């Protein structure tokens, strides 16, 4: 009985981590776009801000947040950036003969355009585009939509299209 109480308390404590979003809220003043966070997580219990790095203190061009389950397995990721804007891309190139790594930065104009194989879906009455991953049966893909100028991309190899749409519909602006 004591073990059951401890297990429920631990699960509640872990679940609070995914509801907290304090690390994401810190980024709000560093972006030129609105940030959205899910209120539905499926099996995810905690998250990791993959980009920007924790010590990044200026001009965040995009954010990447990954959500994990109790076993630390990846459930889904959320990539957000301003649509119709210039962003800096870091390109890593390895010389095949010497093995030397060259890193360069390049600015490019980002404007989301659905791919021909994308399926038009509705997210809270707005257009979204779902791309299933090849050779996956009913699970996995990318779901992309624009909300108030922010391009949001949900990525998973684990969840179904319907679960992805439910998470997308749960996204709330910070």
> What mean pLDDT is predicted for residues 137-162?
92
Q: What is the pLDDT of residues 71-113, one digit of tens each?
A: 999 999 999 999 988 878 778 888 888 889 888 888 888 889 9
Which residues are within 8 A (CB) of 136 and not within 5 positions of it... i.e. 6 or more apart? 157
- 65 close to 76: Cβ distance less than 8 angstroms: no
DSSP 3-state assignment of 4?
A: helix
Query: What's residue 9's pLDDT?
Result: 37
If one compares 18 and 161, the residue with the highest pLDDT of the two is 161
Give the tokens for residue 151: 């391009």
pLDDT on residue 12: 35
Indicate whether 13 pLDDT > 60. no
Secondary structure of residue 45 in the 3-state scheme: coil
DSSP state of 70: T
Residues 6+ positions from 150 with CB-CB distance below 8 Å: 33, 34, 35, 36, 80, 81, 82, 83
* pLDDT score, position 23: 85
Whole-model pTM?
0.79
Q: Is the pLDDT of residue 3 over 60?
A: no
| Pairs from 13-16 (Cβ < 8 Å, separation ≥ 24) | 14/45, 14/46, 14/70, 15/45
Identify the pLDDT of residue 136: 62
Does residue 10 carry a pLDDT above 70?
no
pLDDT tens column, 22-78:
888 888 888 999 999 999 999 999 999 988 876 777 788 899 999 999 999 999 999
Collect contacts of 89-96 with beta carbons under 8 A, ≥24 apart: none
Cβ-based burial of 168 (10 A; exposed 0-12, middle 13-18, buried ≥19): buried
Is pLDDT of 164 > 90?
Answer: yes
The structural domains of the chain, ordered by start, are: 2-173 (3.40.1000)
Please choose, from the candidates 129, 173, 151, the residue with its C-alpha nearest in 3D space to the C-alpha of residue 61.
151
């Amino acid at each position: 009985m004591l073990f059951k109480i401890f297990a429920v308390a631990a699960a509640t404590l872990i679940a609070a981590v995914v509801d907290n979003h304090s690390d994401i809220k810190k980024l709000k003043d560093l972006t030129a776009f609105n940030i959205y966070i899910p209120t539905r997580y499926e099996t995810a219990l905690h998250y990791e801000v993959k980009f920007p790095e924790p010590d990044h203190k200026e001009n965040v061009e995009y954010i990447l947040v990954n959500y994990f389950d109790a076993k630390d397995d990846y459930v889904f990721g959320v990539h957000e950036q301003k649509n119709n804007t210039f962003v800096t891309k870091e390109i890593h190139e390895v010389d095949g003969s010497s093995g030397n790594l060259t890193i360069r930065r390049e600015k490019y104009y980002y404007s989301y355009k659905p791919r021909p194989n994308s399926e038009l879906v509705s997210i809270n009455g707005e257009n979204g585009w779902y791309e299933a991953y090849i050779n996956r049966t009913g699970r996995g893909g990318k779901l992309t939509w624009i909300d108030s100028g922010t391009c949001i991309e949900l990525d998973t190899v684990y969840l179904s299209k319907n679960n992805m749409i439910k998470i997308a519909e749960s996204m709330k602006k910070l």
